[in-house]
Amino acid sequence: MTDAAPIRVLIADDQALIRVGFRLVLEAEEDLVVVGEAGDGQEAAELAERLRPDVVLMDVRMPVLDGIAATAQIARVAPRTRVLVLTTFDLDEYAFGALEAGASGFLLKDAQRAELTSAIRAVHRGDTPLSPRITRVLLDRLAMQPAPSPAIPDPTGELTEREREVFLAMGRGYTNAEISQQLFLSESTVKTHVGRVLAKVGARDRVHAVILAHRLRLLADDEPLPPLR
């Protein structure tokens, strides 16, 4: 039994039976509690603003307001709430759209119980529940996008030299273990640097650090991406 406050979860899915199933799974965990349910994207955004859950389980394809638009709205009205998108296909265009709108990760709707609960915990602590294959596809998509116009503000000026190295490694999709090996640092030191980097650049998590690094065009085009694992 832990003394830490439980992770507060909002379930958003237009199918009542799926919401019931998720609730049963989550409420069997001591560190997770369901604080509400929504049957469409608009209701999800409104409940997120009112209840301020830690994590929203967000179905992508919902009536009234789809999961992408709902995610973008939640990012505006409840910026501390993290969104975990539920999708049928792991390379679904909707899922990538949700990441760009502010989601912190996505998960297949048929994920096993342990995968679901682990993903919620990962999102809550700021990690990215994306497989290396999905991370690589996301990096490839970002690399092909044109530079934003007008240029977005660069928030990296306050980073130390070491923090900038960590930020660029994060932008290339490296894990803490890979950054540790690359920069000859302990993983605990890397974790501390990652937390500081996210705070200084205003990124909610690693996904958004990756997106920011690419939008700022801080990564050399000829820099090799991490190998698939």
| CATH class of the structural domain 7-129 | alpha beta
Contacts for 35 with CB less than 8 Å, ≥ 6 apart: 8, 9, 10, 51, 53
DSSP secondary structure letters along 151-208: PPP-GGGG--HHHHHHHHHHHTT--HHHHHHHHT--HHHHHHHHHHHHHHHT-SSHHH
Decide if pLDDT at 200 tops 50.
yes
The pLDDT tens digits for 50-101 are: 999 999 999 988 999 999 999 999 999 999 999 999 887 666 677 778 888 8
Report the candidate in 222, 66, 215 with the shortest Cα–Cα distance to residue 141. Answer: 215
Q: Pick one of 3.30.420.40, 1.10.600.10, 1.10.10.10, 1.10.3720.10 as the CATH number of 139-215.
A: 1.10.10.10
C-alpha to C-alpha distance for 121 and 195, rounded to whole angstroms: 16
Report domain extents, the chain.
7-129, 139-215
Q: pTM score, two decimals? A: 0.77
Mean pLDDT of the chain: 85
Residue 154 CB neighbour total at 10 angstroms: 12
207 falls in which pLDDT band (50, 70, 90)?
confident
Residue 59 host element (H or E): strand 55-59
